[in-house]
Structure 1
């Protein structure tokens, strides 16, 4: 497979100097940029998959009616928080 180049990007001279300052031993600026681009692509793919799964889970919950209303969840969390606070107060006395 034939390789392709990424478009050149303009950066301020001080930023380029900062970039060059963080390169590892033997690493080129091109290798660094490629690695950074690959990382962001992977992150965005993972993020899109996470959102897709979340939406599917919401739709499944709506379809089956198996969800718990938000006010009940919040009430349970508040009860746990209050219990933890009370426990903390008792320990400090």
Structure 2
């Protein structure tokens, strides 16, 4: 498979220096940038999926008339938080 390249990127010297200082042993700026791009693409995919699930849930609630009260949701979340804290 052929590879492609991204256009060169102009940044302020402070950003370049910060990136260089954050490199791990044996890591290059190019590798760092590639990994950052991959992670951003993955994160945006998760965001799109999250929004799609939310919209589908909203549409289902409108269609069925089955809604959950905000107070019930908050109580459940508080319970989940308490359980998580107790498990630490």
**1:44 corresponding residue in structure 2:** 44
Alignment of 1:1-20 (within 5 A): 1-20=1-20
Query: What runs of 5+ residues in structure 1 fail to find an aligned partner?
Result: 78-93
Partner in structure 1 of residue 61 of structure 2: 61
With normalisation by structure 1, the TM-score equals 0.72
Q: CA 1:60–1:76 in structure 2 vs 1: closer, same or farther (change >3 Å)?
A: closer
Moved over 4 A (4+): 74-77
CA offsets 1:11-58 (integer angstroms, 9 cap, x no match): 111221111111000000000000000000000000000000110011
Tell me, which stretches of 5 or more residues in structure 2 are unaligned? 75-88
Aligned to 1:73: 70
Q: Aligned residue pairs: how many?
A: 76
Shift of 1:76: 8.7
Question: How many Å apart are 1:73 and its aligned residue?
Answer: 2.9
Larger radius of gyration: 1
